[in-house]
Amino acid sequence: MKKINKWLLLPITFIILFCVGCSQKNTNPVKLPAPATSYQENSLDLKVKSAVAFDLKNGQIFYAKNATKKYPVASMSKLITIYLTLQAIKDGKISWDQEVTPDKDIVSVANNQDFANVAIKLNHSYTIRQLYQATLIQSANDAAMMLAKAVSGNQQKFVIQMRELLKSWGINDAQIYTPDGLPNYSLGSQKFTDNKMAENELSANDMGIVIQHLLKDYPQVIETTKIAKLDFKDENSNFQMQNWNWMLPGLSQYDAQFPVDGLKTGTTDAAGACFAGTMVKNGRRIVTVVMGAKHVDSSDPSRFDETKKLLTFIFNNYQLYIFKKGQKLNGTNTVSVKSGRPKKVTPVLQEDNGVWLRNNQKLQMQFNQNFITAPVNKGEKVGTLIDTSIPALNKNNALTLPATVNENIKSANFFSQIFN
């Protein structure tokens, strides 16, 4: 056998080493937390079964109580129905001026004086716009069922669509039976065959995720949820709708300290009094969800009292700080550069970001990559900065901000990469 020239082995060795370096896996070194169940709960005596409050833009959680536990959500379910309606309009499947007529199951609900309705009548027709407004303002169950019929053809098909939508958002264990939040039996001949008393159940965090998608994808919904009163016209008659969100201007729980402009109430015997509220503070939209507040009778304001208490806690304990594009945040360490120069860089903010901090609280950001691979242009996203001590409604369950570098990183030449 001929001897192999040792000088031929040298370039082969270089190539092998280079390929091994190239195959190094870039993993996330940050240990991500579980979804927040409780956060600052002991700082506030909130008399509800569950709650969550967060910043809409970055998902940062201010407060959480039993936030991952599922409870009946009643008419807050209608926010999912509204999302699917707006999606169908956007996709051209239905239109605002399209007219819809009810079936007997819908009229049966409309005639039930124990339910919130606009008394939809058999053989009458109503536009999608009317039904959309009635669903959000009057919390009309008959109107929500009409929207479901318009979008999917019948109630069961629409509910299946609701379930699929939630799963696409990562909400895999929700219990959904109706488009309006009433018990399963209310669908009449279109009810599901299992427990007739079953109600829609989601956690406070789940409702927060629904609201994130609704307000980010269709922010125009606020233009309707902020309406306190509006006439519902049905041929020759008028019915004045009044918003069940009593924190709106002109209604009984209005307070100028809390300029709430949405979003949705919910009430059943099983759910108690629920309320998803929202308002803008310091240019940032804050969302609150309270579930299972006291409900002695239809005049009980407890859900709004608890919402005000929650907002007051946020205002008194958090301050908004704006961190600038290109800024290095506390806790961020240098990271190695692969196949480039310089050999180490410090990740910085890719864009201006607002973060709410409590008194004496400091950020402790970690970069979510083991290394950065060259080439990279200044300002290009290279990963994310994560603070696991601050919970958030996002896939990381923690405050997450986009990261970049403050300089151009060039690829090293072939031999430098081998020796590195």
Residues that constitute the known binding site for substrate: 264
Burial of 69 (0-12, 13-18, 19+ CB in 10 A): middle
Whether 23 is a known active-site residue: answer no
Residue 55 · residue 286 · CB < 8 Å = yes
Q: Are 267 and 261 in contact (CB under 8 A)?
A: no
411 in catalytic set: no
Task: Identify whether the C-beta of residue 288 lies closer than 8 Å to the C-beta of residue 278.
Answer: yes
Residue linked to tokens 């939508």: 165
> How far apart are the C-alpha atoms of 358 and 309, rounded to whole Å?
17
Query: Could you tell me which of 158, 8, 18 has the C-alpha nearest to residue 87?
Result: 158
Specify binding-site residues. 264
- The C-alpha atoms of residue 414 and residue 175 are separated, in whole angstroms, by 57
Cα 289 from chain centre = 11
- Residue pair 378/346 in contact (Cβ under 8 Å)? The answer is no
Q: How do 99-100 and 70-72 pair as beta strands?
A: unpaired
Instruction: Single out the catalytic residue among 49, 65, 78, 149.
Output: 78
d(CA 177, CA 360): 46
Task: Report phi then psi at 283, rounded to 5.
Answer: 80, 5
The two structure tokens encoding residue 403: 């990261």
d(CA 83, CA 72): 19
Give me the residue label for tokens 């039976």.
177
Rounded CA gap, 354 and 342, in Å? 30
Residue indicated by tokens 């999302």: 83
From 50, 65, 75, 77, active-site residue: 75
Q: Is-catalytic flag, 75?
A: yes
> Which of 50, 77, 139, 152 is an active site residue?
139
In angstroms, the CA 341 to CA 415 distance is: 13
- Residues marked as catalytic: 75, 78, 139
